[in-house]
Amino acid sequence: MSTPRVAAIHDMSGFGRCSLTVAIPILSAMGIQCCPLPTAFLSTHTGGFEGFTFLDMTDELPKVAAHWKSLGLEFQAVYSGFLGSERQIAIVEDFLREFRGADTAAVIDPVMGDHGEVYQTYTPAMCAGMARLAELADVITPNLTEAALLLGVPYDALPAGEAGCREIVERLSLDGRRSVVLTGASTAPELTGAMCFDAKTGRTEAVQTRRVPQEFHGTGDVFASVLTGALVQDASLPDAVRQAVDFVRACAERTAKAGIPMREGVEFEPLLGLLTQPVDE
């Protein structure tokens, strides 16, 4: 198969750059066929918008999976993000078991919360289910809030600083069995980026860039999509993290300069050309 495939299991928002409207163009720009499996369709994402519509696609997920299985489809990666219910988590677990080949990377973005707060749609049972799903991953990409939830500790009790971030990713690695990329990890006030533990090498390292003093919705989706694409291109984990960190920074700088509202996400479309060349090892 000349073009690698990724099954992307996310919601789709018609407006506001996040989830599938980010994953599809980014993976396509990286030379990868993105096969979307939408968990829901919303008119907009839920951050900063009111009155949005929501169409639950839970009942369709196993039907799509069964049809794909009958076609004999194979995927170089399964990449999941925001899930809308405990039932969907179980469906994604089943999908992974059905479609995971020897060379299939399972990338799980355990979307549950941010800034120390759990998203309103996530119940304790869903958080427990997400932790169970994450145990099946080759790579997880939690932020600090999600790391606390996966570790079962209060957000305020997380260890701080560079040493603390190293401790977090190593504790999340399941004794070195899975790779962990902690997003929003900072080693100095003027820096931001990620801390990663690479299960293949057993090494932990920080990947940092200069901080853009503004936040935007959807940057986690941009980051995880670039990371997934780079891993499918056979980049090492640190190289994949570096490409994702640098691309998010470039998008954030452009978006801040243009004065685009936070809720619209980062203006990544004009920068997709940065992703068209494979990552060098």
**What does the pLDDT look like over 25-56, one tens digit per residue?**
999 999 999 999 999 999 999 888 889 999 99
Name every residue whose Cβ is closer than 8 Å to that of residue 62 and which is 6 or more positions away in sequence: 91, 94
Residue 110 and residue 142 in contact, taking contact as beta carbons nearer than 8 Å? yes
Q: For residue 278, is pLDDT > 80?
A: no
Distance (Å, whole) CA 229 – CA 274: 13
Residue 60 and residue 30: Cα distance in Å, rounded?
28
Confidence of residue 120 (pLDDT cuts 50, 70, 90): confident
| Closest-CA residue to 248 (of 280, 215, 277) | 215
- β-pair partners for 140: 108, 180
Q: Which of 5, 22, 81, 7 is nearest to 218 (CA)?
A: 22
> Mean pLDDT over residues 182-210, rounded?
97
Given a cut of 70, is residue 235 above it in pLDDT?
yes
Asked if pLDDT for residue 124 goes beyond 90, the answer is: yes
Distance CA 199, CA 176 (A): 5
pLDDT tens digit sequence for 71-114: 999 999 999 999 989 999 999 999 999 999 999 999 999 999 99
Handedness of CA 83, 222, 119, 255 (dihedral sign): negative
CB 3 within 8 A of CB 29: no
Residue 46 is predicted with a pLDDT of 85
Confidence of residue 279 (pLDDT cuts 50, 70, 90): low
Give dist(CA 53, CA 31) in Å, integer: 32
CA neighbours within 13 Å on the CB side: how many for 245? 24
List the one residue out of 46, 40, 37 whose CA is nearest residue 15. 46
Whether the predicted pLDDT of 212 surpasses 60? yes
- Adjacent-strand bridge partners of 113: 118
| Average confidence (pLDDT) over 135-144 | 98
Question: What pTM was computed for the model?
Answer: 0.95
Sign of the dihedral through C-alpha 73, 223, 24, 91: positive
Q: For residue 154, what are the CA distances in angstroms to 45, 146, 165, 248? A: 27, 11, 15, 28
Confidence of residue 281 (pLDDT cuts 50, 70, 90): very low
Q: Cα torsion at 7, 11, 12, 15 (round to 10°)?
A: -140
In the chain, DSSP finds a helix count (H) and a strand count (E) of 8, 13
Amino acid letter at 194?
A
| CATH class of this structure's domain 5-275 | alpha beta
Q: Which two tokens stand for residue 109?
A: 């973005």
